[in-house]
Structure 1
C-alpha cells in the first residue's frame, strides 16, 4: 500500500522524479526509483563539503573555533553572510550556515579553504560514483561553460546513512553533522506538511524547475531515510509540492 501511495503522488506531473526510501532501523530498502540518475546536485553537494571540512579538522588543518576572514569581494548572493557586517566567522559557523540556510558565501569560502581535489577525493573515498564538485555556488561563468555540480540520489543516500550510522570520520563528527542537519531552516520540501515536532536531519537543494531534499526521519519507533530528487518540473514550487506529498504519505505510514 505504501509504494502504491507513493507512486500515486508522482503520476500527475511531467517532472522527472527519483526516490530513495530506506528503513534504517531494520536496514531494509523499501523503495527506489531512478536512484542512480545523475542530476544537478544544487545545494545537496554541501553535505559532501561539510564532510570534507570536518575531515580536515581531524587532520589538524583547521579548528572548529578557528576564525576565518571573509572579504567584501568574497560575498555572493543568497547569503546571510552577505548581509552582515562581521569580517570573521568561526570555521564551524561557516559549516553550519552552509547547511541550515544554504549560505552560498560560506560555501564558497569553504571550497577555497578545502580545495576541489580534496572534496572530490572524499567523494571517491565514500564510494560515490556520480558526485563531483566542479564549480562554486553562483559561479555564472562556469555554468555557461557547462561545468555543473552533480550527484545521484543513491550517492546522497550513501553519505546520509554513513553519517547516521557514524561510519565516517568519527563518532563525534557524525554527531556534530547530525546536529547541524537537524537545524535545517528550509522545511518546504520533506517537512512541508509537518510541525516542528517532527525530527528530520536533512539538506535541501533548489534551482529553476528543480528541487531536492534528502533526510533522516526520527520517529522513535523507527528511523527512515527519504530522498526526493525532482527535475524538469513546471516550477520549483511544483517540485517541492511533489516532495511534500510523498513525504507525508511515508510519514503517515510509519507513524
Structure 2
C-alpha cells in the first residue's frame, strides 16, 4: 500500500489546490489518508448522513417511507441543484423518492423536504455519536451569497475520514453486521436500501469516471463554492474493493492552462480512484 499512497500524494501535489482524502482497502482493512481529519466544506457529500438519519427515523417509527411529500414553491426558491426546482408546485411524492432524489441527483428541494422532518441538533449529535467528530450540518441549503473564501463554519463541513467511517458502517450493516446496523440505528434492510440508493447515483464525473464502464460504485458527490468532492464504495465483480473519500478545496475558477478549475478537480479525484483500482485487490 505504501507505493499506492506515494502515487496518491503525487497526484495531489501536482495541483495548485488542496486535495484531502481517506482510503480504506476493503480487501485488507488497511487505511491511509491525506489530511483525513482536517475539516473541509462538505457540500452535498453530507447527504449520505442525512439519508441514513432519515432511515434511522423510519426504523424507529418516527417517519414512513410512503409518507406523502408536497413539492412547494417555497422549497424551490434559491435552489441550484437537482430537478425538482423546475417541477410544477403541488406535485406529491413519497418520502422514499425524496430521499432517492436527494442522493442520486443531489436535489435540494428534496433535501429540504427530508431535513424538515429531522431535528438539526439531533442530526449533528447523531453524527458525533457515530464518531464523525469533524462533521457539522449547517444551513439546509448553501446560501447563494457564500463567498469563495468563506470560513467553513459558515456552511456544512466534514472530514474525509468521517465520510469513510459512515460508508464503512453502511456497507457492513448492509452485509448483515448487526453491530454496524445497530450503531446506525437501522435494520439490515434499511442499510441495504441506503447502499442501493448510493449505487443509483447519476453523477459519475469523479470516483467512477476512469473506472471500467458500469463498475458498481455507491457514492455521493458534492459541488461546493470552491471545490468538488466525492465519497464512495467501489466494487469489483460485486465484491467491495475500497472506500475513497476525496475533497478538493480552493480550486481556482481557471487553471493556468486556461481550462476550468472544476474540470481539474474532477480529473484529480478520478485519477485518485483509478490508482486505487489498479493497486488494490490485483
Deviation of 1:141 after TM superposition, in Å, equals: 6.7
List runs of 5+ in structure 1 lacking aligned partners. none
**Residue in structure 2 matched with residue 202 of structure 1 by the alignment:** 219
CA distance in 2, matches of 1:141, 1:210: 16
Cα deviation code 1:116-164 (max 9, x no counterpart): 1221121122111111111111334788896210100111111010001
CA distance in 1, matches of 2:6, 2:264: 20
**Residue in structure 2 matched with residue 67 of structure 1 by the alignment:** 68
Give the one of 236, 243, 250 matched to 1:219: 236
Cα deviation code 1:39-65 (max 9, x no counterpart): 011001111110111111111121111
Deviation of 1:225 after TM superposition, in Å, equals: 0.7
List runs of 5+ in structure 2 lacking aligned partners. 174-179, 253-260
**Higher alpha-carbon deviation: 73-82 or 243-252:** 73-82
Alignment of 1:156-175 (within 5 A): 156-166=163-173, 167=180, 168=184, 169-175=186-192
Alignment of 1:70-89 (within 5 A): 70-75=71-76, 76-85=79-88, 87-89=91-93
**Higher alpha-carbon deviation: 113-122 or 221-230:** 221-230
CA contact (8 A) 1:208 1:236 kept: no
CA distance in 2, matches of 1:8, 1:28: 20
CA distance in 2, matches of 1:141, 1:118: 27
Corresponding residue SS for 2:102? helix
Deviation of 1:195 after TM superposition, in Å, equals: 4.1
Alignment of 1:130 with 2:134, yes or no, is: yes
CA contact (8 A) 1:182 1:201 kept: yes
Corresponding residue SS for 1:113? coil
Task: State how many pairs are aligned.
Answer: 254
Deviation of 1:9 after TM superposition, in Å, equals: 1.4
Alignment of 1:24 with 2:37, yes or no, is: no
**Higher alpha-carbon deviation: 104-113 or 133-142:** 133-142
Alignment of 1:181 with 2:188, yes or no, is: no
C-alpha RMSD of the superposition: 1.9
CA contact (8 A) 2:20 2:34 kept: yes
Output the TM-score relative to the length of structure 2. Answer: 0.84
Output the TM-score relative to the length of structure 1. Answer: 0.93
Alignment of 1:110 with 2:136, yes or no, is: no
**Residue in structure 1 matched with residue 12 of structure 2 by the alignment:** 10
